[in-house]
Chain A
Amino acid sequence: MAGDKVVVLGTYVSMFSMRAQVALNEKGIEYEKKEEDLANKSPLFLEMNPVHKKIPVLIHNGKPVCESLIIVQYIDEVWHDKNPLLPSDPYQRAQARFWADFVDKKVYDCGRRIWATKGEEKEAAKKEFIGIMKTLEGELGNKPYFGGEDFGYVDVALIPFYCWFHAYENFGNFKTETECPKLVEWAKRCMQRESVSKSLADPHKIYEFVVSLKKKLGIE
């Protein structure tokens, strides 16, 4: 739609920002990405998300939309002509929402515990993480994407975590590819899409970010 102004407030490393970017790229929407410094939040940011003060925030013609999955659904509904992300059937849609919600409930926290803890707690987090990935692999089955033949909502929800795998694997001392080869195959397939490869951060930069974050937080 001509004349639309779209801004994404996000950070380079945030999987949640990446979701919004992947969705916008899938729809071919031009947008401005503003990098937020979370230690020094901008007035725009605090005005646009006063409730949670979290990124990402999508600003569409001056109006804010918050929470990454809500943003992705909004993008899908407004720019519905191209590359639909959510299925059209209500039951399939409910299943897609369930699995995106599963990713939200499980992956981030568990991943964080891998790099933020040590000893037994780290081992437990690693086991849990592999368990979660295996469950997702089960749901993927033999489909090319979680969305079936086409890249869809659950793929958008999960793929940004792929650039964090290198950090998780280094700190947790495991290889996702060994434990969940089908899932890594899926991730590589997604990475061939320009909408994804343009939006995901460099895994090595993520690793360096986590190293410096651990130092800042005083975590060994």
Chain B
Amino acid sequence: MAGEEVILLSVYASMFSMRVRIALAEKGVKYELKEEDLTNKSLLLLEMNSVHKKVPVLLHNGKPILESLIIVQYIDEVWHDKNPLEPSDPYERAQARFWADFIDKKVPCKISLQWAAKGEELEAAKKEFIEALKVLEGELGDKPYFGGEEFGYVDVALIPFYSWFHAYETCGNFKIGAQCPKFAAWAKRCMQRESVSKSLADPEKVYDFRALTGLQIFFIIYMFDFYCLNSLDFIRSQVRLLLNFVIRISSKQAVCY
């Protein structure tokens, strides 16, 4: 559609931003990509998503649309002529929405496969993650895509997490492909689509993004410890507990973005 202005506020490593990029690419929509720095959010982001202050945000002719799956549905409805993502049958559509919702509930933030998680907590997180993938494998069955013969809504919802697998595998010391071969085959099939391969972040860069965010926080703790060397141990231990809490929260947020 001539004269359309489409802008995406995004973060390179965010799976949620990647979903929107894939959907726009599937529809052949030209758009401007604005990379956000989550430690220093732009005024535009804060104005356009005043409720949650999160990416992605799609701006279509100046009007904001929020929440990645809602954005994907919006894109599918507005640019409905090309590569439909949601099924046309209401029942099939409800099933697709169910599985996208399952992915949102089970795959991202429950994973504490961060540099800080270890021991039992890490093992529990790995187990839960693999279980979720196996359920998804069951739903995929023998179909080439979750959408059936065609790449669709659930495929868009899930494939961006593939770019984070290298980071999860390295932190968690396991191989996802070995445990979920069908899933790995499906992911490789999706990666052959230009809309996907052009939209997904480089797994090595994602790993660095996670390590760097963690490193920044680690540095804060290190500097604080050094500063408090001569202070009361009690105060120091309490504040250290608080900082550990902050790591968890901000690490969780980094994964969620």
Bind each other: yes
Taking CB atoms and an 8 Å cut-off, the chain A residues in 118-160 that contact chain B are: 135
Q: B194 contacts the other chain (Cβ, under 8 Å)?
A: no
For the A-B complex, the count of residue pairs with Cβ-Cβ distances under 8 Å equals 52
Which residues does chain A contribute within 8 Å of B90, judged by CB atoms? 74, 77-78
Q: Mark B59-72, 1 if CB is under 8 A from A, else 0.
A: 01001011100110
Size range of the chain A interface in the assembly:
20 to 34
- B98 located at the interface, meaning its Cβ lies under 8 Å from any Cβ of chain A in the complex: yes
Task: Indicate if A198 sits at the interface (CB-CB under 8 A).
Answer: no
Min Cβ gap B134→A in Å is: 12
CB-based contact B97/A73 at 8 Å: yes
Q: B101 near A: Cβ within 8 Å?
A: yes
Of A11-19, A21-29, A97-105, the segment with at least 4 beta carbons within 8 Å of chain B is A97-105
Which of B66, B70, B94 meets A70, CB within 8 Å? B94
Question: B interface, by DSSP: helix, strand, loop or mixed?
Answer: helix
Q: How far, in angstroms, from A66 to B65 measured CA to CA in the complex?
A: 25
Residue of A nearest to B91 (CB): A63
State A66–B94 Cα separation when bound (angstroms): 8
Instruction: Name the CB-closest residue of A to B49.
Output: A98
The distance in angstroms between the C-alpha atoms of A74 and B67, with both chains bound, is: 20
| Complexed CA–CA distance, A91 and B63 (Å) | 8
Q: Could you say which of B73-81, B111-119, B183-191 contacts chain A?
A: B73-81
B135 & A101 in contact (Cβ 8 Å cutoff) = no
B77 touching A98 by the CB < 8 A rule?
no
In B32-70, which residues have CB < 8 Å from any A CB? 51, 60, 63, 65-67, 70
Distance between Cα atoms of A102 and B49 in the complex (Å)? 12
Enumerate chain A residues within 8 angstroms of B71, measured Cβ to Cβ.
94
In the complex, which of the residues A71, A93, A102 contacts B77, with contact meaning CB atoms closer than 8 Å?
A93
Establish whether residues B98 and A135, one from each chain, have CB atoms under 8 Å apart when the complex forms: no
Minimum CB–CB distance from B90 to chain A (whole Å) comes to 4
What are the 10 closest A-B residue pairs judged by CB atoms, nearest first?
A77-B90, A90-B77, A74-B94, A94-B74, A94-B65, A97-B70, A65-B94, A70-B97, A90-B78, A78-B90
Which A residues contact B (CB, under 8 angstroms)? 51-52, 60, 63, 65-67, 70-71, 73-74, 77-78, 90-91, 93-94, 97-98, 101-102, 135
12 contacts between A and B (CB under 8 A): A51-B102, A63-B91, A67-B97, A67-B98, A74-B93, A77-B90, A91-B60, A91-B65, A97-B70, A98-B65, A101-B70, A135-B51
